[in-house]
Amino acid sequence: MKESFFQVISVSQCIQILREFSPTPPITVDLEDAPGLVLAEDVTAGEDLPLQHRSCVDGYAVRARDTFGATESNPGYLDLAFSIDIQTPPGSCLESGQSARIPTGGCLPDGADAVIMVEHTLGMGPATVEIKKSLSPWENVMLRGEDVAHGECVLHAGLRLTPARIGLLAALGCSRVSIHRRVVVGILSTGDEVVNISETVRPGLVRDVNTHALAALAKSCGSDVRRYGLVRDDPHTLTKKLETALMECDLVLVSGGSSVGARDHTLESLQRVCNGHILAHGLAMSPGKPTIVAASGNKAIIGLPGQVTSAQVVMQVLMMPFIAHLGGRKNAFQNNWKSIPAILSRNIGSRQGRTDYIRVKLTPSDNDLPLATPVLGKSGLLKTLLQADGLVEIPENSEGLKNNQKVLVRPLE
């Protein structure tokens, strides 16, 4: 990793740096403990799913050719040979001219190649069934291996285990899976002016918003969070806290002290803890310029702005994808959010050379797309985040966006 001191880099360059950090090591866990985690290995099916041809409906297993020409006005008739128990495979073979009562999920008997829905039949006593519809071969049948074939790679490494994927693994009998260990994120706030949220504030003091907001965002993307409390503007104390956090965490987030003021000691402490391995100090983005990226081995320490809205924007744009990357997600920086197309309600100016993230509120419009209205206000106002539904990115090579321009809105957590 290339070191960079006091040099503003682009958002894309920062992402390239963050990508170089390796994911957490793989561990094997019970399937019940795996939801939300990321596969460390490909999963290959050890059997067909389903194991046998199964009925998709309640009805009668038949030979399709025995139903050819049957209609409501000209029904056909088949012998009812036997009934199928869903819990046991049928032991009998279906002969021509015969049918077998079968429940949804029941295994087809040998000789059958279709199932007619009970709605298209009429019982004519204990031994005969009236058929009111012609069937094609394999109609209303789930074929053996149709869902998953034996030997098929069903899930690739790097995929997050969603409920649907957990269900597939359960269906295949995968009771234990290899996943990347959950990312442990350490969070601490700095500044003589910051006090605990339970304290009464006086002029010049502010409550510790960042610890709680950043922890909530980190938890929302599946990480375990450890809080290291408040640290005063003392580089020695901050260094000790960082050393402890580095031993216990995969990623450490420090809010405050990342700028270049006389009382901004985060950079100094990071240089000590990371032996000078400062990979970036300053990002060409707004909000979020005074951001630091440092490395100690394969562990990252990120110095975030103390200003609460800036810290949360950097967290959502860069740190949440980074946590996903550390947790093993493939293409975490490309696929970490689902954009919402919208129409911009007014012109927005920007300055070339930096990436701007504009808070917007979405409202219905007369068009097919919602209207994205910029949420204006001073940069430190918390209510601008509360009122916003998402962020619109203005690329670094742009001078702004125009009224009625189609934009992509990145939803806020």
Strands 285-286 and 355-363: parallel
Under the banding of pLDDT at 50, 70 and 90, the label for residue 338 is confident
187/175 same-domain check = no
For range 233-259, the mean pLDDT: 90
For range 276-284, the mean pLDDT: 91
Residue 266 scores a pLDDT above 90: no
126/226 same-domain check = no
332 in a domain, yes or no? no
Under the banding of pLDDT at 50, 70 and 90, the label for residue 235 is confident
Structural domain containing residue 252: 11-24+182-326
State what percent of residues in the chain have pLDDT above 70. 96
For range 253-270, the mean pLDDT: 73
| CATH for 273 | 3.40.980.10
For range 30-50, the mean pLDDT: 97
The mean pLDDT of the chain is 92
Residue 369: CB atoms within 10 Å: 15
- Number of structural domains the chain divides into: 4
**CA–CA gap between residue 19 and residue 302 (Å, rounded):** 14
5 in a domain, yes or no? no
Q: What is the pLDDT of residue 4?
A: 46
Under the banding of pLDDT at 50, 70 and 90, the label for residue 261 is low
Residue 362 scores a pLDDT above 70: yes
335 in a domain, yes or no? no
2 in a domain, yes or no? no
Under the banding of pLDDT at 50, 70 and 90, the label for residue 120 is very high
For range 96-103, the mean pLDDT: 96
Range in 152-161, 183-192, 252-261 the model is least confident about: 252-261
| CATH for 379 | 2.40.340.10
133/270 same-domain check = no
Q: What is the 3-state secondary structure (H, E, C) of the chain?
A: CCCCCCCCECHHHHHHHHHCCCCCCEEEEEHHHCCCCEECCCEECCCCECCCCEECCCEEEECHHHHCCCCCCCCEEEEEEEECCCCCCCCCECCCCEEEEECCCCECCECCCEEEEHHHEEECCCCEEEECCCCCCCCCEECCCCCECCCCEEECCCCECCHHHHHHHHHCCCCEEEEECCCEEEEEEECCCEECCCCCCCCCCEECHHHHHHHHHHHHCCCEEEEEEEECCCHHHHHHHHHHHHHHCCEEEEECCCCCCCCCCHHHHHHHHCCCCEEEECECEECCCCCEEEEECCEEEEEECCCHHHHHHHHHHHHHHHHHHHCCCCCCCCCCCCCEEEEECCCEECCCCCEEEEEEEEECCCCCCCEEEECCCCCCCCHHHHHCCEEEEECCCCCEECCCCEEEEEECC
284 in a domain, yes or no? yes
Q: What is the pLDDT of residue 204?
A: 86
Residue 262 scores a pLDDT above 70: no
Q: What is the pLDDT of residue 158?
A: 96
Residue 335 scores a pLDDT above 70: no
Under the banding of pLDDT at 50, 70 and 90, the label for residue 1 is very low
186/298 same-domain check = yes
Give residue for tokens 């819990």.
87
148 in a domain, yes or no? no
For range 117-127, the mean pLDDT: 93
pTM reported for the whole predicted model = 0.88
Domain finish residue from 87, 112, 142: 142
Q: What is the pLDDT of residue 334?
A: 85
116/74 same-domain check = yes
Domain finish residue from 269, 293, 326: 326
**CA–CA gap between residue 360 and residue 410 (Å, rounded):** 10
172/210 same-domain check = no
Range in 3-7, 149-153, 294-298, 387-391 the model is least confident about: 3-7
Under the banding of pLDDT at 50, 70 and 90, the label for residue 264 is low
Under the banding of pLDDT at 50, 70 and 90, the label for residue 413 is confident
Residue 35 scores a pLDDT above 70: yes
Q: What is the sign of the dihedral through the CA atoms of 34, 36, 39 and 40?
A: negative
pLDDT digit string, tens, across residues 180-208? 999 999 999 998 888 898 988 889 888 99
* Whole-Å CA distances, 339 to 180, 323, 375: 27, 19, 18
Residue 265 scores a pLDDT above 80: no
Residue 405 scores a pLDDT above 50: yes
Under the banding of pLDDT at 50, 70 and 90, the label for residue 3 is very low
Domain finish residue from 326, 354, 370: 326
